[in-house]
Amino acid sequence: MRTEQPKMIYLKDYQAPDYLIDETHLTFELFDDHTLVHAQLVMRRNPAAGSGLSDARMPPLVLDGQQLELLSVALDDRELSAGDYQLSDSHLTLQPTAASFVIDSSVRIHPESNTALEGLYKSSGMFCTQCEAEGFRKITYYLDRPDVMSKFTTTLSAEQHSYPVLLSNGNPIASGSEEGGRHWATWEDPFMKPAYLFALVAGDLWCVEDSFTTMSSREVALRIYVEPENIDKCQHAMDSLKKSMTWDEEVYGREYDLDIFMIVAVNDFNMGAMENKGLNIFNSSCVLARAETATDAAHQRVEAVVAHEYFHNWSGNRVTCRDWFQLSLKEGFTVFRDSQFSADMNSATVKRIEDVAYLRTHQFAEDAGPMAHPVRPESFMEISNFYTLTVYEKGSEVVRMIRTLVGDAGFRQGSDLYFERHDGQAVTCDDFIKAMEDANGVDLSQFKRWYSQGGTPRLVVSEAYDAAAKTYSLTFRQSCPATPGQRDKQPFVIPVELGLLGAQGQALPLRLVGEAAAGATSRVISITETEQLVTFVDVAEQP
Ligand code: SER
Ligand code: ZN
């Protein structure tokens, strides 16, 4: 087998995939010492691919796959032999001969000895998965990239006594028993999704069950699965889930779409949680909370993480990322959404102070160090290193600034347009901005520098009051330190919301030079230049 060296990947090199996978049919046979994975991929040439080859000659099909033992592969029911394909430690390459075809493959994998917590692994006696960002390639040969979206059907079989619960994405459509004490279940996910949103769980789990009626009166079953000893610690997560579902309907007009929504608590999990379609998998610490033993902060964390993962169903799953450079498209927006939710559920002021303190302490440090990178990085070797405070927290603040610029109503119109335009698609941060621009008739081209330039800008303000002329001037100067690979920065668009107070603490009317009459006592000024003078007139006293 050939060994491939990891290489740098650049945003500017993005190319649409040569092939699409319309349907993905997976069968998992789970055993204690190995797992067999059979994958049937219904594929076709991507009409939008730009490989430049004439239709007569099909480009090679390069499937991703790592740490897989290939047992068999067939193209349109024809079993391939070793000479028919090339195998390296990261790819399986073969040559399709028609524009539509079916690939069947079988591989053996070892979740029982997978300690990387990526792909399919075992945690406390249960099987579970983590596929974001590139874990699915450790499960089967596939086009493991987010712009390849497919309809998944998944069948799992396992020994019934140790693994009574068998879960995957979507809705359950069939189940039964097999000889030898085994059983099986089939799940079908009607929504197109990239492989990173695939999930599977098998184990001895108990569940807390509830239901939710959506805004169009559809009944959704809600289940939280935990190990039996934790069954008394799920109520807060369930309450948080129902609040999140209501809030997303009311504030963003977003309704849940499957018949069932599940959360599974797992003890060994690298991230807080994962938004797999219909089957969120959580680190136990982000699910379990009981009033007698958990602090207020722990309760709020559970509420926030449950909300975050639930909100991804629209901002991430229904509309997903074209490539991993766009990670902040779903993460920045979803962190912003969960922070709005937490603000609405608790104290908005406290939440804002917490978020800003966290950003200043941790993200500013990242932005000032050797790892500093833009919200949308331009290159990476290993995407798992880019699940950063910059992509998440600064990404959220960038979305917040858009809302500050276009206002609450304009922001909602922009997000409605974004979801309507791109439902079922894998898109870019530019598409998000475009929807905000089109819905509001504004030009955000300079604003987009927030996505491409790293570093924490510094804004220095100086004031001057002219008592005789009754003018009050503010001079804003912005600068941004050099960051790795970026020496000179162009000025950002920095929205500054401000008001002026008189000696008695009263809000003073704000009238900019050149304006006919005073407007509101609080307004948003856009700082777009390196140095910008803002002058208010008719200011009766020194603010
Ligand atoms: N996509 C996951 C999340 O942010 C990874 O942690 O919710
Ligand atoms: Zn997220």
Burial of 87 per CB tally in 10 Å (0-12, 13-18, 19+): middle
Residue 207 and residue 226 in contact, taking contact as beta carbons nearer than 8 Å: yes
Backbone angles phi, psi at 7, to 5 degrees: -130, 165
For residue 331, the ligand 1 atom closest to its alpha carbon is 4
Query: pLDDT band at 371, cuts 50/70/90?
Result: very high
Q: CA–CA distance from 164 to each of 28, 66, 177, 201, 325 (Å)?
A: 15, 29, 11, 11, 39
Q: Is residue 393 in contact with ligand 1, taking CB distance under 6 Å?
A: no
Best residue for ligand 1 mutational test, from 193, 274, 337 (most atoms within 8 Å of Cβ)? 274
Q: Is residue 273 in contact with ligand 1, taking CB distance under 6 Å?
A: yes
Q: Retrieve residue 465's tokens.
A: 């009051």
The mean-pLDDT minimum among 1-5, 71-75, 244-248, 282-286 falls in 1-5
pLDDT (tens digit, 9 = 90+) per residue, 392-405? 999 999 999 999 99
Q: Output the CA 328–ligand 2 centroid distance in Å.
A: 9
pLDDT (tens digit, 9 = 90+) per residue, 325-360? 999 999 999 999 999 999 999 999 999 999 999 999
In this prediction, what percent of the chain has a pLDDT beyond 90? Answer: 96
Backbone angles phi, psi at 121, to 5 degrees: -145, 175
Nearest CA to ligand 1 atom 7: 274
User: What's the rounded Cα separation, in Å, for the pair 518 and 511?
Assistant: 4
Reading phi first (left if > 0) and then psi (alpha if -120 to 50, else beta), residue 470 is in left
* Residue 523 predicted with pLDDT over 90: yes
Q: How far is residue 317 CA from its own chain's centroid?
A: 8
* Domain(s) of CATH 2.60.40.1840: residues in the chain: 458-536
Q: Retrieve residue 516's tokens.
A: 């006919």
For residue 132, the ligand 1 atom closest to its alpha carbon is 1
* Residue 51 predicted with pLDDT over 70: no
- Give kind and range of the element (H or E) at residue 397: helix 395-422
* Residue 54 predicted with pLDDT over 60: no
- 366 flagged as catalytic: no
Which ligand lies nearest to the CA atom of residue 334 in the structure?
A: 2
Best residue for ligand 1 mutational test, from 132, 136, 276 (most atoms within 8 Å of Cβ)? 132
DSSP result, 243-267: HHHHHHHHHH-----SSEEEEEEES
Taking each helix axis as running N to C, give the angle between helix 395-422 and helix 429-440, from 0 to 180 degrees, rounded to the nearest 10.
80
Burial of 254 per CB tally in 10 Å (0-12, 13-18, 19+): buried
The residue-averaged pLDDT of 494-514 equals 96
Q: Is residue 26 in contact with ligand 1, taking CB distance under 6 Å?
A: no
Residue 42: CB partners within 8 Å, gap ≥ 6? 21, 22, 23, 24, 25, 102
Q: Distance from first CA to last CA of the chain, Å, rounded?
A: 74
Nearest CA to ligand 1 atom 6: 271
> Residue 53: its pLDDT value, please?
55
Q: Output the CA 213–ligand 1 centroid distance in Å.
A: 26
In 144-242, beta strands by DSSP E: 150-159, 165-168, 171-177, 182-193, 200-203, 206-213, 219-226
Query: pLDDT band at 3, cuts 50/70/90?
Result: confident
Q: Is residue 309 in contact with ligand 1, taking CB distance under 6 Å?
A: yes
Residue 75 and residue 92 in contact, taking contact as beta carbons nearer than 8 Å: no
Please state, rounded to an integer, the average pLDDT across all residues of the chain: 97
Q: Is residue 132 in contact with ligand 1, taking CB distance under 6 Å?
A: yes
> Residue 4: its pLDDT value, please?
84
Q: CA–CA distance from 76 to each of 58, 167, 454, 518 (Å)?
A: 15, 29, 48, 73
Domain spanning 319-452: CATH 2.60.40.10 = no
Q: Output the CA 354–ligand 1 centroid distance in Å.
A: 20
Nearest CA to ligand 1 atom 5: 274
Question: Of the residues 134, 227, 309, 366, which is catalytic?
Answer: 309
Q: Output the CA 36–ligand 1 centroid distance in Å.
A: 28
Best residue for ligand 1 mutational test, from 269, 387, 392 (most atoms within 8 Å of Cβ)? 387
* Residue 483 predicted with pLDDT over 80: yes
pLDDT (tens digit, 9 = 90+) per residue, 256-288? 999 999 999 999 999 899 999 999 999 999 999
Q: Output the CA 309–ligand 2 centroid distance in Å.
A: 6
The model carries a pTM of 0.98
Q: Is residue 118 in contact with ligand 1, taking CB distance under 6 Å?
A: no
Backbone angles phi, psi at 374, to 5 degrees: -70, 160
For 354-392, what is the HEC assignment? HHHHHHHHHHHHHHCCCCCCCCCCCEECCHHHHCCHHHH
User: What's the rounded Cα separation, in Å, for the pair 433 and 378?
Assistant: 18
Burial of 345 per CB tally in 10 Å (0-12, 13-18, 19+): middle
Q: Retrieve residue 85's tokens.
A: 């394909």
Q: Output the CA 91–ligand 1 centroid distance in Å.
A: 26
Residue 345: CB partners within 8 Å, gap ≥ 6? 243, 247, 303
Residue 507 and residue 499 in contact, taking contact as beta carbons nearer than 8 Å: yes
User: What's the rounded Cα separation, in Å, for the pair 266 and 255?
Assistant: 27
> Residue 5: its pLDDT value, please?
86
Nearest CA to ligand 1 atom 1: 274
Residue 322: CB partners within 8 Å, gap ≥ 6? 14, 146, 147, 426, 427, 428
Q: Output the CA 238–ligand 2 centroid distance in Å.
A: 19
Query: pLDDT band at 158, cuts 50/70/90?
Result: very high
Q: Is residue 274 in contact with ligand 1, taking CB distance under 6 Å?
A: yes
Q: Output the CA 201–ligand 2 centroid distance in Å.
A: 20
Best residue for ligand 1 mutational test, from 287, 309, 385 (most atoms within 8 Å of Cβ)? 309
Q: Are strands 279-283 and 260-266 parallel, antiparallel or unpaired?
A: parallel
User: Domain 1-204 falls in which CATH fold?
Assistant: Immunoglobulin-like (2.60.40)
In this prediction, what percent of the chain has a pLDDT beyond 70? Answer: 99
* Domain(s) of CATH 1.10.390.10: residues in the chain: 319-452
* Residue 528 predicted with pLDDT over 80: yes
> Residue 56: its pLDDT value, please?
65
Q: How far is residue 56 CA from its own chain's centroid?
A: 38
Q: Are strands 150-159 and 182-193 parallel, antiparallel or unpaired?
A: antiparallel
Q: Retrieve residue 228's tokens.
A: 């039996």
User: What's the rounded Cα separation, in Å, for the pair 295 and 476?
Assistant: 43
Q: For 458-536, which CATH class?
A: mainly beta
Nearest CA to ligand 1 atom 2: 274
Residue 119 and residue 274 in contact, taking contact as beta carbons nearer than 8 Å: no
The residue-averaged pLDDT of 9-14 equals 98
Residue 28 and residue 184 in contact, taking contact as beta carbons nearer than 8 Å: no
Residue 42 and residue 62 in contact, taking contact as beta carbons nearer than 8 Å: no
Q: How far is residue 121 CA from its own chain's centroid?
A: 22
